[in-house]
Structure 1
Amino acid sequence: MPRDDREHTGTRIAAARKLAGLTQRGLAQTIGYSYSLVHQVESGHKPASPDLVAAVARALRLDVTALTGQPYVTELQQDRLEGLIRPIREALDLYDLGADPDLPVRAAGQLVAAADDLCRLVRAARLNAAATLLPAVIAELTTAAYRRPSTTLWRALGSTYRTAHDITVKLGYFDLSTIALDRMAWAADRACDPLLAAVRQYMRALVYHREGEHRIGLRLIASGHGLAADAEPTPDAVAVTGQLHLGASVIAARARDAALVEDHLDQAKVCADRTGESSTHWLSFGPTNVACHAVSAQVELHHYDTALALAAGVELPHSWAPSRQAHFHIDRGRCQMETGRTDAALESITTARRLAPQQTRYHPGARETIKGLVYMRRTTPDTLDNLAAWIGL
């Protein structure tokens, strides 16, 4: 089935490699991957894994988005999401202007509820609704926090900045997500909330995980642990500590340090045994999340059969956020595709799309899995044709 593949990740890697004056063999030697894999990725016959993309970007001193093509503007325009980015950018720039004298604000309890509703919308993968409401809530909370400063209001404002980060990351605007995290630190400092600050370090670490900068990512996790240790010894502090260990496990897996992966997963399990299934600062932590991260770590280590065996034992609670469930199915779909289980992979990605359509459409891993399935199958069923068209292939 003929397709226009001029804009897939492999062709972007090839163009960047040529500009750097490297052959395929030269690039393969530089990043520590096989020539055969680089050749297949560039020709479009094998999907570009996140770790390979990060390795190429690091070697060629590029941002990962230069290779993935994010943000996916055509699809964003189709979903009427691109026009929502500028208001978010403007709202993030209000932080040092003080109170808006012309802006009426609601009571503190109503504003906290509005911030929580935004988190809830993102976890439900309703990105359009969250992105539409976010700028006004940021503006209102900024003014309220300046007029009557309190830990409650600064913490709620920090939560909206975290939501801005979540939305912009999912839509591929990573420059804006970094600004949102800076604002989150600013609010956390005024809230005197070490756990909010620790969550921010966790999220910063995942940014460096995406870019393949493992050492910086692990240093940020260590910084987060220090902040969490300064908090009151509550169940929330235990949950944040456990989540930091989960983040470290995936970063260590990308760095191919299996021993460090197991160490962090073991420590996360100890925390999960103490908390059970819990949610704090809109992080879902507990035994289920530990099990899902164990799968993700094996995916990053390229131990796909092991990952599938672990995934078979995971039972996702119905109460779990659709965004988190979809991420699990995307991981599983990648494993199934890599091990030749194309029908199962198609089912997993279809499930992710049903649970969180916008998140799945803009997830680089899901897109690469769909592309991989197209190239692996001699005939494509209607469902796969539909998915391929959906991501613009």
Structure 2
Amino acid sequence: MSVSALPIGERIRYWREKKHRKQAAVAGLCGITEEYLSQIERGLKIPSLPVLQALAAELGVPVSALLGEKRNELLAENAYVADSVVTALMGYGPAGSAQPVTLAELRERVESVWRIWQTSPKRFTEAASVLPALIVDTENAIRAHRLSSDSAARRDVLRTAADLYFMLRSYCRRAGRVELSLMVADRALRAAEDADDPIRLSAAQWNLGHVLLADGEYEGAKQVALRGIEGLRALPRDADTIAMAGALELVAVVADARRKRWGQARERLSSNATPRAQQVGEGNTMWTVFGPTNVELHAVSIEMEAGEAAEALRVADQIDTSHLPSIERRFTFLLEVARCYDLRREDPAVLVHLLDLEQMAPEDLARNPLARNMVTRLRRRVRATYRRQVDALAERLSSV
């Protein structure tokens, strides 16, 4: 197979090894962590354009050598946020309603887009169809109530705005636009602060933590999560407070795992997150889906990150995700199971799980770099018995 046909991560590794460069040295000179470069080379992350340019310069090759001739995965990954959503976020989208919409209507529309995002197999397409007008109307409502003497109405608008930005954080992140995800996470934080809503403020920190995780800023993500937990200590220990603290603990767990601190991640999960999950049971406080099942999913993630595929699969076999309210969490779990089989090179099991993921959420599968890389690897090594199915899956994904 020619170099140009390889995924971006494998092309970067090819050129780095051809130049006899150490991973740590290249990462340091490009201003990224060694772990982040490792994840890029393994297909777990898609580099931003500035990172790609820095890598090309450091390796002494043109950017085109890293992108390849057949497909520009970087641009494809960054094209999933609808243009109309971007223009609305930047403030030059379509005109909003002539009169500010009522708070009740705005709240219902935000709740509706969250239902789409957490339950629809075509959530990217369906969310993109309603988000531009909703963003504009929400921003108009904020402006209309900025100097209002009705403090209760103003706080309600800001709470609703924060909830919309939470959803947009996930939408932009899952579409590969980390810079937009960071922008809306910051808007959510400011809205929650202005609303003087402690639970939403902790939810905003949870969202920011996930953006930092996506950007490879693991220590920053952990510190944001720990500050969020500390801020909750003064609040009454009701179900929402406990659940938010637990969700923030899971951010810290992932940060530890990504930094290869497997023991710390396992200890934090069992000592801090598990007791909180047992206290509150299954729930969806601030759309975090925190509860015992989510904690178990993180146990699988730790073992998968650690390369302990057999242990991850053993834990996964005991988990039932059918009751979870979020298609995203169910998808992520099944994808990690597929990745474990991929690590073991059990190709029939990888294919079965990828086909299940396609049925569950075809748009998510097509937009996920880890899934696309698994399909690419399958096409290279799969036995003739399964090649037709793998090729057909790849063709379907390219058309989504």
- What range describes the TM-score normalised by the shorter chain of this pair? 0.7 to 0.9
Aligned partner (choices 205, 211, 216) of residue 207 of structure 1: 211
Q: Which residue of 2 aligns with 1:297?
A: 302
The question of 1:354 aligning with 2:359 is answered yes
Q: Is the 8 A contact 1:121 1:130 kept in 2?
A: yes
Where structure 2 has 5 or more consecutive residues not aligned to the other structure, the ranges are 29-36, 57-65, 146-152
Q: Which residue of 1 aligns with 2:63?
A: none
Q: Which residue of 1 aligns with 2:292?
A: 287
How many residues are treated as equivalent by the alignment?
362
Q: Is the 8 A contact 2:142 2:157 kept in 1?
A: yes
| 189-198 or 4-13, which deviates more | 4-13
Q: Which residue of 2 aligns with 1:23?
A: 19
TM-score by length of 2: 0.80
Identity %: 23
SS of residue in 2 equivalent to 1:70 = helix
Q: Which has the higher contact order (CA 8 A, sep 6+)?
A: 1
Q: Which residue of 2 aligns with 1:321?
A: 326
1:143 and 1:52 map into 2 onto residues whose CA distance is 35
Compared CA separation, residues 73 and 180, structure 1 to 2 (3 A)? same
Q: CA deviation at 1:273?
A: 0.8
SS of residue in 2 equivalent to 1:314 = coil
Aligned partner (choices 238, 242, 245) of residue 246 of structure 2: 242
Q: Which residue of 2 aligns with 1:36?
A: none
Q: CA deviation at 1:7?
A: 5.2
Compared CA separation, residues 3 and 10, structure 1 to 2 (3 A)? closer
1:61 and 1:202 map into 2 onto residues whose CA distance is 31
Q: Which residue of 2 aligns with 1:70?
A: 74
Q: CA deviation at 1:115?
A: 0.5
Compared CA separation, residues 364 and 336, structure 1 to 2 (3 A)? same
1:118 and 1:324 map into 2 onto residues whose CA distance is 17
1:73 and 1:294 map into 2 onto residues whose CA distance is 28
Q: Is the 8 A contact 1:118 1:130 kept in 2?
A: yes
Supply the AA of the counterpart residue of 1:124. Answer: T
CA RMSD of aligned residues (A): 3.4
Q: Is the 8 A contact 1:228 1:237 kept in 2?
A: yes
Compared CA separation, residues 292 and 6, structure 1 to 2 (3 A)? closer
Spell out, residue by residue over 1:44-73, the C-alpha distance to the aligned partner (whole angstroms, 9 max, x if none): xx982427989xx69x679xxx98943416
The question of 1:378 aligning with 2:383 is answered yes
1:177 and 1:101 map into 2 onto residues whose CA distance is 23
2:338 and 2:142 map into 1 onto residues whose CA distance is 44
Q: Is the 8 A contact 2:181 2:211 kept in 1?
A: no
Q: Is the 8 A contact 1:71 1:171 kept in 2?
A: no
2:4 and 2:379 map into 1 onto residues whose CA distance is 13
The question of 1:48 aligning with 2:42 is answered yes
Spell out, residue by residue over 1:252-294, the C-alpha distance to the aligned partner (whole angstroms, 9 max, x if none): 1111112211222121111011100011111111111011111
Spell out, residue by residue over 1:270-327, the C-alpha distance to the aligned partner (whole angstroms, 9 max, x if none): 1011100011111111111011111011111111111111101101133532222111
Aligned partner (choices 158, 161, 165) of residue 161 of structure 1: 165
| 320-329 or 372-381, which deviates more | 372-381
2:44 and 2:96 map into 1 onto residues whose CA distance is 47
Q: Which residue of 1 aligns with 2:99?
A: 104
Compared CA separation, residues 210 and 61, structure 1 to 2 (3 A)? farther
TM-score by length of 1: 0.81
1:374 and 1:361 map into 2 onto residues whose CA distance is 16
Q: Which residue of 2 aligns with 1:197?
A: 201
Q: Is the 8 A contact 2:282 2:291 kept in 1?
A: yes
Compared CA separation, residues 296 and 146, structure 1 to 2 (3 A)? same
Q: Is the 8 A contact 1:134 1:160 kept in 2?
A: no
Q: Is the 8 A contact 2:106 2:138 kept in 1?
A: yes
1:286 and 1:353 map into 2 onto residues whose CA distance is 26
Supply the AA of the counterpart residue of 1:336. Answer: Y
2:310 and 2:290 map into 1 onto residues whose CA distance is 25
| 143-152 or 114-123, which deviates more | 143-152
Q: Which residue of 2 aligns with 1:269?
A: 274
